[in-house]
Amino acid sequence: MMLDLFDTPVLPGLSEQPDIIDRAEEQMLIRKIDETDLAPFRFQGWTGKRLTTSFGWCYDFEVGRPMEAPPVPDWLAPFRDRAAQFAGLKPELLIQALLIRYDPGAGIGWHRDRPVYEHIVGISLGEPAKMRFRRRRGDGFERASMPLEPRAGYHISGPARYDWEHSIAGMERPRWSITFRSLSERT
């Protein structure tokens, strides 16, 4: 769990686990992601700089709904299981695996994940990054951030998931991530 100097969570519903994988696993995952059929992220006619592919389920932003994707490959299943254990979830609840490669200049703008998803559990690979959080307060924003260290896992749920937007600034060097999601019980 991300804690401040007084052992208070940075945001309720935000936790992290350093070294959820080891260096050899990280290098294997980077290689496997790069060997996957990655495509530029597309959002309502706009093409992003990051490259992605999904397994299990995907969200088609062009039609605005979730769709079936190829099944989670055998090489990825143990990491889904490990991510689920860290988040306190049953592995079968993590129905989507999203693989992302951020080439130089690529990031993710401010957003909340689609309401169809509940838990967001990620594994950060390659370069360190900072996940930024904000929520509107009056005429401005309240802000927080969490470092995403290589090989660390993070879990976004509850207030961090629903009350805050998050983003990752563009990077100077390549970074990869694996994001697992569960379906929401709210929809």
3 domain-assigned: no
4 domain-assigned: no
User: In the predicted model, is pLDDT for residue 1 greater than 50?
Assistant: no
105 domain-assigned: yes
pLDDT of amino acid 7 = 53
9 domain-assigned: no
Distance between CA atoms of 184 and 171, rounded to whole angstroms? 31
pLDDT of amino acid 58 = 80
Q: Is the pTM of this model over 0.85?
A: yes
Q: How many domains does the chain have?
A: 1
126 domain-assigned: yes
CB 168, CB 129: distance < 8 Å: yes
137 domain-assigned: yes
| Span 53-103, pLDDT tens digits | 999 988 666 666 678 899 999 999 999 999 999 999 999 999 999 999 999
The two structure tokens encoding residue 102: 């951020």
| CATH number for the domain harbouring residue 119 | 2.60.120.590
Task: State mean pLDDT over 128-154.
Answer: 94
Name the percent of the chain in helix, strand, coil, to the closest 5. Answer: 15, 45, 35
5 domain-assigned: no
Phi and psi of 73, rounded to 5°? -70, 155
163 domain-assigned: yes
Domain residue limits at 32: 14-183
